[in-house]
Structure 1
Amino acid sequence: MSGSFAVLGMHQQELEEVRGRTREFLAADRERFGWRPAVDSWLSRWDPDFSVRLSEAGLLGLTIPAKYGGRGSEHLHRYVVTEELLAQGAPVAAHWVADRQVAPTLLRFGTEEQKARLLPEIAGGRFYSAIGMSEHGAGSDLAAVRTKATRTDGGWVVNGTKVWTSGAHHAHMVVVLARTAPPDPAARHQGFSQFLVPTDAAGVDIGPIELLSGEHHFNEVVLNDVFVPDSGVLGEIGNGWFQVTAELSYERSGPERFLSTMPLLLAVVRWLNSHDPSPAVKAAIGELGARVISLRQLSAGVARALETGESPTNRAALVKDLGTKFERDSVDAVARLLDDIEAESGLPVPAEIAELLREARLHQALFTLRGGTNEVLRGVVARGLGLR
Structure 2
Amino acid sequence: MQDFKFGPVQMPSGVDLLRQEIRAFIADEVAAGTFTPKRNSWSSFDADFSRKCGERGFIGMTWPKQYGGGEKTALERYVMTEEMLAGGAPVGAHWVADRQSGHQILRYGSERAKQTILPKITTGLCFFGIGMSEPDSGSDLAAVRTRAVKADGGWRIHGTKVWTSSAHRANYLIALVRTSAKEENRHAGLTQFIIDMAEPGVTVRPIYNLYGGHDFNEVVFDDYFVPDDMVVGEVDGGWKMVTGELAFERSGPDRFLSTYQLLAESIRVLGSEPDDRAANEIGRFVAHLAILRRMSTSVAGMLHRGQQPLVEAALVKDIGTTFEREIPEVFRHLIPTEPTMGSGDSYAELLGMTILRAPGFTIRGGTREILRGMIAKGLGLR
What does 1:265-344 correspond to in 2, within 5 Å? Answer: 265-273=263-271, 275-339=272-336
Aligned-residue offset at 1:280: 2.2
Is 282-291 or 305-314 further displaced after alignment? 282-291
Percent identical: 47
Q: Distance in 2 between matches of 1:220 and 1:134?
A: 10
Q: Classify 1:81/1:141 alpha carbon distance in 2 versus 1 (closer, same or farther; 3 Å).
A: same
Quick one: which amino acid aligns to residue 275 of structure 2?
S
Determine the structure 2 residue equivalent to 1:243.
241
Query: 1:273-296 deviations in whole A, cap 9, x for unaligned?
Result: 4x5322321211111111111111
What is the SS of the residue equivalent to 1:319?
Answer: helix
Q: Distance in 1 between matches of 2:8 and 2:346?
A: 34
Q: Is the 8 A contact 1:95 1:128 kept in 2?
A: yes
Q: Is the 8 A contact 2:262 2:350 kept in 1?
A: yes
Aligned-residue offset at 1:8: 3.4
Q: Distance in 2 between matches of 1:235 and 1:203?
A: 23
Determine the structure 2 residue equivalent to 1:83.
82
Find runs of 4+ consecutive structure 1 residues off by over 3 angstroms: none
What is the SS of the residue equivalent to 2:218?
Answer: strand
What does 1:78-117 correspond to in 2, within 5 Å? Answer: 78-117=77-116
Q: Is the 8 A contact 2:110 2:230 kept in 1?
A: no
Q: Distance in 1 between matches of 2:15 and 2:346?
A: 31
What is the SS of the residue equivalent to 1:8?
Answer: coil
Q: Is the 8 A contact 1:101 1:251 kept in 2?
A: yes
Q: Classify 1:180/1:8 alpha carbon distance in 2 versus 1 (closer, same or farther; 3 Å).
A: same
How many correspondences in the alignment? 372
What is the SS of the residue equivalent to 2:14?
Answer: helix
Aligned-residue offset at 1:354: 1.4
Determine the structure 2 residue equivalent to 1:24.
24
Q: Distance in 1 between matches of 2:154 and 2:45?
A: 33
Is 17-26 or 57-66 further displaced after alignment? 57-66
Q: Distance in 2 between matches of 1:150 and 1:159?
A: 9
Query: 1:246-279 deviations in whole A, cap 9, x for unaligned?
Result: 1000001110000000011112223334x53223
Query: 1:7-40 deviations in whole A, cap 9, x for unaligned?
Result: 33152x4222211111010000111134112221
Is 149-158 or 61-70 further displaced after alignment? 61-70
Q: Distance in 1 between matches of 2:238 and 2:128?
A: 18
Is 196-205 or 250-259 further displaced after alignment? 196-205
Aligned-residue offset at 1:351: 5.8
Q: Classify 1:276/1:386 alpha carbon distance in 2 versus 1 (closer, same or farther; 3 Å).
A: closer
Q: Is the 8 A contact 1:64 1:123 kept in 2?
A: no
Aligned-residue offset at 1:6: 8.6
2:369 maps to 1:375? yes
Q: Is the 8 A contact 1:133 1:176 kept in 2?
A: yes
Determine the structure 2 residue equivalent to 1:215.
213
Q: Unaligned 5+ residue runs, structure 1?
A: 343-349
Q: Distance in 1 between matches of 2:268 and 2:20?
A: 20
Quick one: which amino acid aligns to residue 377 of structure 1?
L
What is the SS of the residue equivalent to 1:90?
Answer: coil
Q: Unaligned 5+ residue runs, structure 2?
A: 1-5, 339-343
Q: Classify 1:14/1:7 alpha carbon distance in 2 versus 1 (closer, same or farther; 3 Å).
A: farther
Q: Distance in 1 between matches of 2:124 and 2:220?
A: 26
What is the SS of the residue equivalent to 1:9?
Answer: coil
Aligned-residue offset at 1:369: 0.4
Determine the structure 1 residue equivalent to 2:341.
none
Q: Is the 8 A contact 2:179 2:235 kept in 1?
A: yes
What is the SS of the residue equivalent to 2:222?
Answer: strand
Q: Distance in 2 between matches of 1:79 and 1:189?
A: 31
2:112 maps to 1:118? no
Is 72-81 or 58-67 further displaced after alignment? 58-67
Determine the structure 1 residue equivalent to 2:49.
50
Q: Distance in 2 between matches of 1:8 and 1:383?
A: 26
* Candidates 192, 195, 217, aligned match of 1:194: 192
Quick one: which amino acid aligns to residue 318 of structure 1?
L
Determine the structure 2 residue equivalent to 1:15.
15
Quick one: which amino acid aligns to residue 289 of structure 2?
V
Quick one: which amino acid aligns to residue 133 of structure 1?
M
What does 1:160-175 correspond to in 2, within 5 Å? Answer: 160-175=159-174
Q: Is the 8 A contact 2:270 2:335 kept in 1?
A: no
Aligned-residue offset at 1:99: 0.3
Determine the structure 2 residue equivalent to 1:345.
none
Quick one: which amino acid aligns to residue 356 of structure 2?
L
What does 1:248-259 correspond to in 2, within 5 Å? Answer: 248-259=246-257
2:177 maps to 1:178? yes
2:360 maps to 1:366? yes
Q: Classify 1:174/1:10 alpha carbon distance in 2 versus 1 (closer, same or farther; 3 Å).
A: closer
* Candidates 356, 379, 382, aligned match of 2:350: 356
Aligned-residue offset at 1:142: 0.3
Taking structure 1 as the reference length, what is the TM-score of the superposition? Answer: 0.93
Taking structure 2 as the reference length, what is the TM-score of the superposition? Answer: 0.94
